[in-house]
């Protein structure tokens, strides 16, 4: 990857993050998903690396248990299509697919974990742990796998919040 492509990619990651952080929902998510075709060749759609998938499962279980026992069930009940469909698709594009495509590896991990956590202000530490599990899943299974885990997590918490579980 050349210098100009690297700088342009990093700028795309920052712009996408700014859209997620500032645009009203669901418009920001939709805008990012509309840009997906621009990056379709850079996204790792699927792969199979069991060690990363196992790490994702362990990190996810730890994050979920901490969240459940120390933070508790959320009171907020956003529309299911926003939290189970749009948010996972858009956030995985920005925080995993674009980060790992355009940033140097150490910065991609920091972005995928720490910045993801910071942009979830209700509990940034637990969100960072979820970010780690999603980053492991992206590295082990690609965009489809990390999006599926993200959607599963959001659906689970929404079901808990609405009393379905």
CB 164 within 8 A of CB 80: no
Q: Quote the domain boundaries for residue 66.
A: 3-162
Distance CA 139, CA 120 (A): 22
> What string of DSSP letters covers 63-102?
HHHHIIIII---S----HIIIIIIHHHHHHIIIIIIHHHH
CB 120 within 8 A of CB 67: no
Closest by CA position to 80, among listed 151, 15, 11, 16: 151
pLDDT recorded at residue 10: 85
Looking at the structure of the chain, the number of domains it has is: 1
Question: pTM value?
Answer: 0.92
Distance CA 13, CA 48 (A): 25
Residues 83-135: tens digit of each pLDDT = 999 999 999 999 999 999 999 999 999 999 999 999 998 899 999 999 999 99
Give the residue, 129 or 40, on which the prediction is more confident: 129
Residues 55-84: tens digit of each pLDDT = 999 999 999 999 999 999 998 899 999 999
pLDDT recorded at residue 6: 65
Q: Report residue 5's pLDDT band, with 50, 70 and 90 as the boundaries.
A: low
Distance CA 97, CA 86 (A): 15
At residue 150, does pLDDT exceed 90? yes
């Amino acid at each position: 990857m050349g210098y100009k492509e690297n700088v342009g990619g990093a700028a795309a990651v920052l712009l996408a993050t700014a859209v997620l952080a500032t645009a009203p929902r669901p418009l920001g998510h939709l805008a990012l998903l509309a840009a997906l075709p621009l990056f379709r060749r850079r996204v790792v759609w699927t792969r199979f690396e069991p060690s990363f998938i196992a790490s994702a499962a362990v990190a996810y279980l730890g994050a979920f248990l901490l969240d459940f026992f120390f933070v508790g069930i959320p009171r907020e009940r956003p529309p299911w299509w926003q939290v189970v469909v749009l948010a996972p698709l858009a956030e995985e594009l920005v925080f995993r697919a674009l980060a790992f495509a355009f940033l140097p590896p150490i910065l991609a991990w920091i972005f995928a974990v720490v910045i993801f956590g910071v942009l979830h202000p209700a509990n940034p530490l637990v969100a960072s742990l979820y970010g780690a599990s999603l980053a492991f899943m992206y590295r082990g299974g690609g965009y489809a796998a990390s999006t599926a885990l993200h959607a599963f997590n959001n659906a689970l918490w929404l079901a808990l919040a609405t009393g379905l579980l």
